[in-house]
Amino acid sequence: MLIVKVHVQNINDAAFTCDALILPVPEDNGAALCKDVDKPLGGLISSVIASGEFTGKHNETCLLHTADKIKPERVLLIGLGKRKNLTRDKLRQAGGKAVSYLINLKMKDLAVSTSVTSSPGHSPLSFIEGCLLADYGYMKYKKEENHKGLEKITLLTGEDLNEQLRWTETVVSASHLARDLVNAPSNEMTPSALVRVARSLKKASVKVIGRKEAEKLGMGAYVAVAKGSNEPPAFIVITYKGKNTKPVALVGKSITFDSGGISLKPSEGMEKMKYDMAGGAAVLGIIKAASEMKMPVHLIGILPAAENLPGGSASKPGDVVKALGGKSIEIISTDAEGRLAVADAIDYAKRFRPSAIIDIATLTGACSIALGHEAMAMMGNDEALMEKMKKASEETSERVWQMPIFEEYKDYIKSDIADMKNTSGRSGSLVSSACFLSEFAGDTPWIHLDIAGTAWTDKDRPYIPKGATGIGVRLLLNFLKQL
């Protein structure tokens, strides 16, 4: 879905014509802060605050009609909570909450007051980011589109925010692309469809390795995943070179549907396994944004795309396959397919001599058992690199939480007949999957992000509507910006 462009106007809040003016109001001293609007409204805001109908608690809303007293037809008060507790994410959430509220009422043309959010220590950009992230719906298959979204949004400020706004818009539109790809059903979003998306990205070059060639190259782990489906797999390699340096490799798990294969998943909830390509979708979004912003980075995106089905030629539990580097793997569960595909992709990434490999994958159900939907699990072999990721995570609130890869986990994936096996049962399956991948990263600085718990949401969140979240795009773009 396309995002609206943010306009900027240096004009008094009360003088701007629009369907609704969004007015962020803190819990303390709120009325005084919006006196420029309150006064011409004859003290309407002061009175809803005095009566306790609106207190300014975080994400609280109150819609007022202005009856021609000022130019905006309506004013939406949105609570920010106590000023001393205000964070970037609280601003982002408030922006998201306000916009979803107004979209529900079919408002099209909004303005955002910055009288409070541009106070010292805060920027209206987080608020606007929340607004834009909330303006999303996946309506492709609905006859009657019930999410038309915004037509115009204007930030009322005298500050020159153009450059930062452009970054925000680009990042949000990349998140929206990732959401679109993940929300699309698997009969549409096949490996070949991912290839088409990759090829549509400007200023990036794309190479696709098909089934035959992958076999010939020795990607036995990846190929094993695709064997049970008639859908042709596609190992996609995208290069964006915005600077002449060692690349950062971004590997995104791209299982376009994960039925579990012969180790079939229960049918309840299986429809959601279309989101097993959320890692790949994030990588496509990141490369789109990086090239649009002409970021001075060198990126290699790798999407080992395949469909995991239990067809007549599917891999079976007990099969032994040989991965790219020559290691043999006993497939205990065909449902632990992600690490097979990602292992070959990580190994392949090393051919580019990257300064770092970041993989992002909906790898384990255990990830959401451990952290719920509030953070992705991060594991890796380079503490300094992970510190940088934590910093990017704090800024974007796409949270990461570090988990260990203890030496002992190697025992978990010891096979009796091969170099390793692909699962070790339930105990420690979040960390043992990372331990499995670490064998393929070797000495290259590497981070693994498990997004199984965060790539999809079953309920609306302040700036993330139900469905695909687009997770990873904002985090990794921020991470790359810092590098």
Q: Which residues are catalytic?
A: 265, 339
Residue from the set 335, 344, 347, 359 that interacts with ligand BES by CB under 6 A: 335
Residue indicated by tokens 């002992």: 408
- The nearer residue to ligand BES, 8 or 270, going by C-beta atoms, is 270
Query: Taking the CA atoms of the chain, what radius of gyration do you get in angstroms?
Result: 24
Tell me the residue nearest to Zn ion as measured from the CB.
Answer: 258
Segment lying near ligand BES (by CB under 6 A), choices 92-100, 357-365, 407-415, 435-443: 357-365
- The nearer residue to ligand BES, 70 or 455, going by C-beta atoms, is 455
- The nearer residue to ligand BES, 337 or 439, going by C-beta atoms, is 337
- Return the residues of window 304-333 that contact ligand BES according to CB under 6 A: 333
Q: What's the CA gap between 460 and 451, in Å, rounded?
A: 18
Positive/negative CA dihedral, 149, 152, 157, 161: positive
Please give the distance of CA 368 from its chain centroid, rounded to a whole number. Answer: 16
Q: Which of 340, 390, 335 is nearest to 365 (CA)?
A: 335
Segment lying near Zn ion (by CB under 5 A), choices 79-87, 158-166, 253-261, 378-386: 253-261
Contact, 51 vs 189, CB < 8 A? no
Exposure string for 318-336, b = 16+ CB within 10 A, e = fewer: ebebbbbbebbbbbbbbbb
Segment lying near Mn ion (by CB under 5 A), choices 212-220, 241-249, 330-338, 409-417: 330-338
Contact, 447 vs 438, CB < 8 A? no
CB of 98 to Mn ion, least distance (A): 39
With binding defined as CB under 6 A, does residue 423 bind ligand BES?
yes
Q: What's the CA gap between 255 and 281, in Å, rounded?
A: 11
Residue from the set 89, 335, 344, 450 that interacts with Mn ion by CB under 5 A: 335
Cβ-Cβ contacts under 8 Å for 314 (sequence gap 6 or more): 227, 228, 229, 261, 262, 334
Tell me the residue nearest to ligand BES as measured from the CB.
Answer: 365
Segment lying near Mn ion (by CB under 5 A), choices 251-259, 292-300, 372-380, 415-423: 251-259
CB of 251 to ligand BES, least distance (A): 15
The contact set with ligand BES (CB under 6 A) reads: 258, 276, 333, 335-338, 362-366, 423, 429, 452
**Contact set with Mn ion (CB under 5 A):** 258, 335, 337
